[in-house]
Structure 1
């Protein structure tokens, strides 16, 4: 059965979430404090890569200690500008043996709205108009996946001594959608998958079509951690009266549970809206990724404050 792990918020977070609701503030300027003041456990760097006329920005936090046999486990984070900006030195230091690769875009803001909408989404079914795209171009996920699997991975892993059998992919919202479509289309790329508040209903059922075409893994088991809030809702709808995780996402998780080649865990973040799950998922995702493909149990990591984030 699916185990729903419910994480309580720190004091005051639920009230802050209620005030912020489902708002989508203008993305702020990123300062990336980890580049200037990383914890002693990691060394950090930034690299810009241009592919097919698209500008990507790669952030790395690599462990400082001796490299283990086989290399470091790693977590690859979409919306890398925001993820690397919001990740704290304390969260990073709690996982001294985990490499973090944040995949962003060449902008100075946390969220690159046009780029992420194109890179992380499949084409809507039958030309359906997708309101969540807000008029931005969609359908570039296959092209981005090819870039990720090839030159972006090569650039990010250069000299990093990463274990290819212990890679995890994290993504929020459209990034969570891309994380799931990668599990279905290219499950060989990662061992672990962390979709957070994934936009499972995007494009009139586009993800369901991708899922239906997925084939079981030929070897090994993929490990999947689904995280979502219990106060999420579409901007055009009323907030749920009672806590209610997305039925569509839970139904997808139930289908994944039935696959013998997958190891699934679902974690519901109490009191959190769609945007707030971004920040709250970071610490738990790192703790989980540090154990993916290994024998040790993941370190317990408290949920962070439920402050609203951009979509």
Structure 2
């Protein structure tokens, strides 16, 4: 005989809710490693579209950071929204993009121009609200911090590296939507200044639309030439726009937590 005894929860996780000056509520999903806290605090990986990817990143991280041969453990922070769906279309189009007008939306029928353009507001939220709140509550490493995003989230990751690179040391961009706003990031990519060393990995699926693959590789090639940037590019065979994410997460976690090595500990 079977009986229901409860609902499944990922161990050692908590959920916060917050509102940002009238913006719809955001849900913040937080995974805290067990075991001894490193002297400098835990590395922390911020995950955009947290409703979709937080659980996957957390469980992969929990498996890949198990001793004795795992990567160093990390706090995982998923930034999501008040929805039971994987994505909140309206909110992510606002949070992850620069403003466009109706003529620039092209084939996109699911969003209005007025619902775009909140990326500076979103990064202010990260810098001045979320990160300070997390620092008060959890032992975060002061500098060893990564930002992961896919698609529009990947666009946000590259934008953040160019426009607000004081926030993170490592950038994990999956299938970045470089086409947004006429490819505006291509105009900015040669004009930003880095005061400190930064790292970025860009991943894309082999079977994605041609411009997605070409743009991802082009951005990698430009960043790879820049001083103070360590850049890596992966095109994952046999994967499309969504199926690329699970294998890219393996590459991204390795890049962030073990500097690309197969094991974080000997």
TM-score range, shorter chain: 0.7 to 0.9
Equivalent in the alignment of 1:142: 120
Matched-pair contact (CA < 8 Å) for 2:189–2:222: no
User: When the two structures are superposed, what TM-score results if normalisation uses the length of structure 1?
Assistant: 0.74
- Maintained 8 Å contact 1:181/1:210: no
Q: Write the distance in 2 (CA, Å) between the matches of 1:182 and 1:229.
A: 22
Match of 1:281 in 2: 248
Which residue in 1 is equivalent to 2:93? 117
**SS of 1:144's equivalent?**
helix
Alignment of structure 1 residues 219-258 onto 2, 5 Å: 219=196, 221-233=197-209, 246-258=213-225
The answer for the alignment partner of 2:195 in structure 1 is 218
Structure 1: gaps spanning 5 or more residues: 1-31, 234-239, 301-311
Contact 2:146–2:170 (CA<8 Å) still a contact in 1?
yes
- What does residue range 88-237 of structure 1 map to in structure 2 within 5 Å? 89-96=59-66, 97-124=73-100, 128-132=104-108, 134-136=110-112, 137-215=115-193, 217-219=194-196, 221-233=197-209
Q: In structure 1, the residue corresponding to 2:239 is in which secondary structure? A: coil
* Contact 2:50–2:79 under 8 Å retained in 1: yes
1:218 offset after TM fit, Å? 1.4
Unaligned segments of structure 2, at least 5 residues: 1-6, 67-72
8 Å contact kept, 1:58–1:156: no
Q: Give the whole-Å Cα distance in 1 for the aligned partners of 2:103 and 2:188.
A: 16
Q: 1:150 to 1:255 in 2, by over 3 A?
A: same
> What is the distance in 2 between the residues matched to 1:134 and 1:50?
24
Query: Relative contact order (C-alpha < 8 Å, sep 6+): which is higher?
Result: 1
Name the structure 2 match of 1:72.
Answer: 42
Tell me how far 1:209 sits from its aligned partner.
3.0
How far is 1:91 from its partner? 4.0
Distance 2:223 2:19 in 1: 35
Contact 1:125-1:204 at 8 Å conserved across structures:
no
Instruction: Number of aligned residue pairs: give it.
Output: 249
Q: Deviations over 1:62-101 (max 9, x none)?
A: 1111111211111110000111233463542312511111
Show CA shifts across 1:253-309 (max 9, x none).
1110110110011111111111212233223322322136xxx93539xxxxxxxxx
Residue 101 to residue 169, structure 1, CA distance change in 2 (3 Å) = same
SS in 1 for 2:32: strand
The match for 1:56 among 26, 50, 73 is: 26
Kept in 2, the 8 Å contact 1:191–1:223? The answer is yes
- Tell me the secondary structure at the aligned position of residue 218 of structure 1: coil
SS at match of 1:128: helix
Retained in 2: the 8 A contact 1:231–1:274? yes
1:260 to 224, 227, 232: 227
Cα shift at 1:212:
4.2
Q: After TM superposition, where is structure 1 displaced by more than 6 Å over at least 4 residues in a row?
A: none
CA–CA separation in structure 1 for the residues paired with 2:103 and 2:185: 14
